[in-house]
Amino acid sequence: MKCVPKEIDKYLTPLALAVWIQDDGGKVSSGLKIATNSYTLQEVEYLCRILNDKYQFNTRPQSAGVPNQYVIYFPKSSMETLSKLIKPYMVPSMYYKLNGY
């Protein structure tokens, strides 16, 4: 069973975020989502709080369309900040996940 470590904030560096998005991220409408389906709503809310506090994003949990499954959603308002932070660590073939930013 997966669980989010309490000290995850120490490890969510720009490089780690870039790797995570290249693996589990996907563009949606004018934003981006990270598949966190196996985590509880409370864990996804915790991850969003860390990302928002650490990097000034506006992430929020969003339903994955399946009962009790959630994704982290980055709205358009966070995409420029996210792109500037992680694009230097991404391989060019994955830039499309940044939705043009």
Q: Which pTM was predicted?
A: 0.94
Residue 44 covered by a domain: yes
Helix, strand, coil share (%) of the chain residues, nearest 5: 50, 20, 35
CATH code for the domain in which residue 74 is found: 3.10.28.10
80-90: pLDDT as tens digits: 999 999 999 99
Residue 15 covered by a domain: yes
Q: Are 98 and 83 in contact (CB under 8 A)?
A: yes
Q: Are 98 and 78 in contact (CB under 8 A)?
A: no
1-56: pLDDT as tens digits: 678 889 999 999 999 999 999 999 999 999 999 999 999 999 999 999 999 999 99
Residue 16 covered by a domain: yes
Residue 42 covered by a domain: yes
Structural domains in the chain (count) = 1
Instruction: Look at residue 22 in the predicted model and tell me its pLDDT.
Output: 98
Q: Which two tokens stand for residue 67?
A: 């009962």
Max alpha carbon distance in the chain (Å)? 36
Instruction: Look at residue 78 in the predicted model and tell me its pLDDT.
Output: 97
Instruction: Look at residue 98 in the predicted model and tell me its pLDDT.
Output: 96
Distance from C-alpha of 1 to C-alpha of 63, rounded to nearest angstrom: 20
Residue 73 covered by a domain: yes
Domain range enclosing 66: 8-85
